[in-house]
Amino acid sequence: MAKNLVIVESPAKAKTIEKFLGKDFKVVSSFGHIADLPAKELGVDVDKDFKPKYVVNADKKDLVKKLKKLAAECDIVWLASDEDREGEAIAWHLAEQLDLKPENTKRIVFNAITKSAVQNAIDNPGHIDYDLVNAQQARRVLDRIVGYEISPILWRKVKGGASAGRVQSVAVRLIVERENEILNFKSKNFFRIDAEFLADGKTLKAKLPGNLDSFKEAQDFLNLNKEASFEVADLVKKPASKSPAPPFTTSTLQQEASRKLFFNVSRTMQLAQRLYEAGLITYMRTDSVNLSKEAKKGAQDEITNAYGNEYHKERNYKGKSKGAQEAHEAIRPTNFAVHSAGADRDQIRLYELIWKRAIASQMSDAKLERTNVTVAASTHDKNFTANGEIVKFEGFLKVYLESTDDEDLEQQGLLPPLRIGQSLSKKKITATERFTRPPYRFSEASLVKALEELGIGRPSTYAPTITTVQNRKYVEKGTSLGTERSYKQLVLKDATIEEKELTEKTGSDKGKLIPTDVGRVVNDFLVEHFGNILDYNFTAKVEQSFDNIAEGKEEWTDMMNHFYKDFHPKVKDVAENAEREVGERVLGTDPATGKPISVRLGRFGAMAQIGTVEDEEKPQFASLLPSQSLNTITLEEVMDLFKLPRTLGEYKGHPVEVNQGRYGPYVKFNEKTFVSLESTDDPMTITFERAGELIQMKEKADAPIYMYDEQPVTKGVGRFGPFIKWAGMFISVNKKYDFDNLSNDDIEQLIKDKIQKEKDKLIVDWEDEGIRIEKARWGRHNIIKGKTKVELAKTVDPLKITLEKAKELIAKKAPKKKATRKKATKKTTKKK
């Protein structure tokens, strides 16, 4: 048996490290956290200094037992979880749950999984840093309390299933406020003047500084230039330089991978995790822009070998963040000599991006020459300007140039040879109508940037926060490519002005983050009642407190007490006194009934309503279309919703209807067939021919692909991926099969495997009664009858359950039928 046991978080990391250590070391994985707060209770004793109650997750109990046994058989246990707060907490939980003795336990950290880094850590072990542990505990406990106390209020006052989170709710607030700015923005038109001149036969592009306010001003200006002569009035050349960006932190990697590679933040972190675990890059959750001496030397060697000494310049970068959460280094390759690496195409692309950014950060400035030209006209005093630049020495630009989020940035190009006093001939001058733009919607990358600038969240929280707000349906990604907009353009050629009417696409939100109606209503409620929690400064101060705790400057329990003494009374007050919030807007009156027409958030989403609950007649309801929003829908659009369902015609002798349901618009045919409309289909305008196409596509998709045991097999794609359906069973098709080209043998094998799996699960089967006992996860068992399922305690032996006992448990669990209420009548009975 090995004398040393090394415990890391992930199997991939364990596999890489095991290559570097000899036979005296055994490396195993904890598969992340082994203990956490319980899922179904608060798990924090607020009266006893916020003492957390940690439990081992059910799916980790066998693992903990195994790790305990391995630890007992070894001389030394090395806790080698990641070097940030989460990693330190994992190490602490391992020490606690495995009953490790301090004298036999060593804590080691490394920011790169290389032989030298791992060996250096073994040679210089430390101890668990309880300041870091407490910082993680403070975050976990505070976030649990905020979520656990506010979420039930949201269930009662806003919508069932809604939740609040200290960071996620602030992220949603940012997105909602940006959307409000866009909705309230009033666009103004103006005219931009561009000119093209000829200088010795070569084109010089110039523009008029500033814009003209109206069509008439633009027309008058072009008229002034009809007979004008033009010359170079001034020409200034200035040397300039560009410096490289620092190596990547977590947030800048997420932003640049989004701009250059089009990865979302979660994808970027998944790929970076794989590269780190393979020993190819340093730790990927970091605020630091620092590089170690060894890294700088490695970069220098690679730069001088590949490009020459003049391309190298050693640089030291200073980050904005404080040192507590900041890891030791920026994200960089572990070996600069490796220009390309990774297990698949996306890993390779991300690795190359990290390599280029890190290597460029240690390269010379680019040397430029910028030229500014002024062009004067003989008929007026408004000058045109042209700017250009040439690269005299590439420096770091030979390897890498940082991208930008500025969609309006104009690239400066080369200018033709010019001299002061040189005559220019007019090629054309255009006046193009342009419009002021509202603020841009957030992309995932720009939201990360905004959170970082506000001091909200840390490297480990950016990706989970953005994923959570989308999973909660508070935010969704836009799909619109924009709408057509017409604009005017005047073109002056020779002495003639031509007027053109052109069109362009505007308002695209594809891939941008947009608040849903649920997200808006939840945000409005939280801002109104818990404004301090959603305050940007408050959230940033909390993060600062976590940093102070990590540095040993603040007690985590003091910070919690200070927060809770104001927070808890506010929660009680809101729970008791706050009004229900449904985002209601009254739009007008129904001309047919005279009743009010409103829109609001309902149980199944945004809905329109004619009438109120106080009316004698029940109100009429209609669901909003996916493309519609509570904030922007008009009275006319709501009235159209009440025209649904629309009957389009008959198909195979059955009526075809289009309607809107809780899952979106659909076509109904034959009372049994429901076909969802595609995103480009509008239920208000869809034709019978288009509905027929959708029905035929559905029939083709639902047609049997095979007959097995005289029963048809169909296939489809659901929430959990591709499946085949046979005899009422849904059978998942995993990646080892080619779903689009399933052979008959594949289908038979999938069905046989499923039947065997069901048999293996079966413990007891009272077939005549329709009751059975099956194996469930984590060593438990379920009694099942139809759709009713009763979970047995782990200590109960399923073989000792009698049929009578099973029936009794099913009866207790089965939903009771609701008593039907008799309609109240106006008749009264006489007293006897």
Name the residues annotated as catalytic.
283
d(C-alpha 782, C-alpha 790), whole Å: 5
Nearest to 246 by CA among 334, 363, 407: 363
**At a CB cut-off of 8 Å and minimum separation 6, what does 184 contact?**
none
| Upstream peptide bond of 815 is cis (omega within 30 degrees of 0) | no
Q: Say how many CA atoms lie within 13 Å of 521 toward its Cβ.
A: 29
Which element (helix H / strand E) includes 527?
A: helix 517-529
The DSSP secondary structure of 243-312, one letter per residue, reads: -PPPPB-HHHHHHHHHHHH---HHHHHHHHHHHHHTTSBB-SS-------HHHHHHHHHHHHHHT-GGGB
d(C-alpha 510, C-alpha 711), whole Å: 44
d(C-alpha 288, C-alpha 326), whole Å: 5
Distance, first Cα to last Cα, the chain: 94
Rg (CA), the chain: 34
The SS3 call for residue 701 is helix
- Where would I find the beta strands (DSSP E) of 532-604? 585-589, 596-602
**Vertex 112, ends 106 and 115: CA angle to 5°?**
75
Residue linked to tokens 């927070």: 567
- Contact between 88 and 136 under an 8 Å Cβ cutoff? The reply is yes
- Partners of 435 in beta bridges: 189
* Secondary structure in 3-state letters for 84-148: CHHHHHHHHHHHHHCCCCHHHEEECCCCECCHHHHHHHHHCCECCCHHHHHHHHHHHHHHHHHHH
